[in-house]
Amino acid sequence: MTTNSRRLLGLLVFGALAGGWLYAAHALWQTSVPSNLKLPHVDMSSLVSASQLHRAQHFSLILDLFSLAGLLLPLVVLALYAKWGHRFIGESAAGPIGTGMLLAMLGLAILWMATLPSNIAELWWLRRYGIEKIGYTEWVIGTWYGLGAEFLGICLTILIVMGFARLLKDRWWLAGAPVFVGIALLVTFVQPYMSGLAPMNDHYALVQAEKRLAKEEGVGNIPLKVENVGTQTTAPNAEAMGLGPSRRIALWDTMLDGRFSEPQLEFVVAHELAHHKHKDLWKGLGWYALFAFPIAYLIARVTKRRGGMAVPLAVPLFLFVWVAFPMVTLPIDNAFSRRLEAAADWEALQATRDPNGGKELFVSFVRTTNENPNPPAWDSILFGNHPTEAQRIAMIEAWQQRNGG
């Protein structure tokens, strides 16, 4: 085969892969929200008091600054570590993979230390507004244990990446990316069993409503559970978890403390059921898989200048790309997530046919979370994985207009 024909074949393969990638991305991007839906303007000051709005705007602005620090600090720290991290090679008597694990763990350890002050300041801010209840010592100890879990995770990652790199050289990413997707699949499946979910014993009416809504949405039997977080936070939340037989809906116990009415809770449950109906967890995995291959390929290319992922010298650079790349794709990941959430809201409206319950819920969210219902665009792009409360209320009003409400 001549050089030209090899190049042509390479281009054809690349074109086919790129086409497949775009097709998959397009398929995942589809939503059940009508494409011609026009969202009306919502005047939040008619729904929430001026003082509450001001409080939410002030709270969110400072929180956004902490979130920005949380984005930028790791980039700076890991960029410096990528440059000088190899100096710690001398602290290891292990082989290449063991040394790679040590370098990766030390990178995360340094990152933990560097971000500790801003994270404590963020906790102070959340405590000041009554969102977090956890004490500083308890929080630091918790993050210490969390760091231990991160160490184990990064060691497994290094074992996979360096193990394949030693076997397959620069083509490790072809085997590595599917393994990471497999791990993500496993984690999504087992998450409900690892989250310490409790049965919902004290809310018979809500359990019955969930069964009715599940039937309405055609998702079969999905257990409704409670996640006990009330000793640590006052923030309300709910999650759709699991795949197939492990599917669950988990309501944080902070949603069941009397601040939310029965119709509001039913709207939340309908929204989470919609995630299962739309197979959003599968879509999330598909989205992750779409990016797993390019990121693994990029890492393989970038680390080549340090000798490739078979040698520990490349690990600090690997860590930087591993953390930086998801930050680059954050805006598009958030946009994808917002589309899934908007579709779940739409489905919840169709199932409950209770726009008032939904509207009251989102107003209650502003009161209980202090989040700005109408944040600036950059905030939504960088941090908004759900539509803003104003957008969610606007969608309800649009639904009402369509359905003669």
Partner 1 sequence: MNEHPITLHVMDDLRRSRLTVFFRGLLVLPHFIWLYLWAIVVYIVALLNWLVALVIGRPAKPFQRFIAAWLRYATTVFAYVFLIANPFPGFTGEPGSYPIELEVPTTPEKQNRLKTFFRVLLVYPALIVGAVLMYATYFVTMLAWWVALITGRMPRGFRDLGANAIRYLMQIYAYLLLVTGTYPCSSPYVGISLGAPVVEGAPAKKASAKK
User: What residues make contact with partner 1 under the rule CB under 8 A?
Assistant: 88, 90-95, 97-99, 101-102, 105-106, 109-110, 144, 147-148, 151-152, 155
Query: Which of 222, 217, 238 minimizes the C-alpha distance to 347?
Result: 217
DSSP-assigned letters across all residues of 364-397: HHHHHH---SS--HHHHHHH-SS--HHHHHHHHH
> Tokens representing 99?
């040394």
What whole-number distance in Å separates Cα of residue 29 and Cα of residue 26?
5
For residues 60 and 375, the answer to whether their CB atoms sit within 8 Å is yes
What whole-number distance in Å separates Cα of residue 123 and Cα of residue 117?
10
Name the minimum Å distance from CB 33 to partner 1: 45
Name the minimum Å distance from CB 154 to partner 1: 9
Name the minimum Å distance from CB 186 to partner 1: 17
Smaller CB separation from partner 1, 92 or 115: 92
> Tokens representing 75?
């980039």
For residues 291 and 329, the answer to whether their CB atoms sit within 8 Å is yes
Name the minimum Å distance from CB 153 to partner 1: 10
Q: Where are the alpha helices (DSSP H) in 169-261?
A: 172-194, 204-217
Smaller CB separation from partner 1, 85 or 373: 85
Paired sense of beta strands 248-252 and 224-227, if any: parallel
What whole-number distance in Å separates Cα of residue 393 and Cα of residue 42?
7
Residue 233 bridge partners (DSSP): 132
What whole-number distance in Å separates Cα of residue 19 and Cα of residue 24?
9
The SS3 call for residue 335 is helix
Name the minimum Å distance from CB 19 to partner 1: 41
Smaller CB separation from partner 1, 82 or 126: 82
H/E stretch holding 163 reads: helix 136-168
Residue 224 bridge partners (DSSP): 249
Query: Which of 76, 80, 85 minimizes the C-alpha distance to 105?
Result: 85
Smaller CB separation from partner 1, 85 or 192: 85
Name the minimum Å distance from CB 104 to partner 1: 10
CA 51 from centroid of its chain's CA atoms: 31
Smaller CB separation from partner 1, 179 or 298: 179
Name the minimum Å distance from CB 109 to partner 1: 5
Smaller CB separation from partner 1, 44 or 310: 310
Smaller CB separation from partner 1, 124 or 144: 144
Name the minimum Å distance from CB 290 to partner 1: 30
Name the minimum Å distance from CB 181 to partner 1: 23
Residue found by looking up tokens 């990766």 in the block: 104
Q: DSSP class of residue 132?
A: B
Smaller CB separation from partner 1, 91 or 262: 91
Q: Where are the alpha helices (DSSP H) in 256-314?
A: 262-277, 280-302
- With 0-12 / 13-18 / 19 or more C-beta atoms within 10 angstroms meaning exposed / middle / buried, residue 33 is middle
Smaller CB separation from partner 1, 73 or 155: 155
For residues 42 and 390, the answer to whether their CB atoms sit within 8 Å is yes
Smaller CB separation from partner 1, 104 or 295: 104
Name the minimum Å distance from CB 400 to partner 1: 53
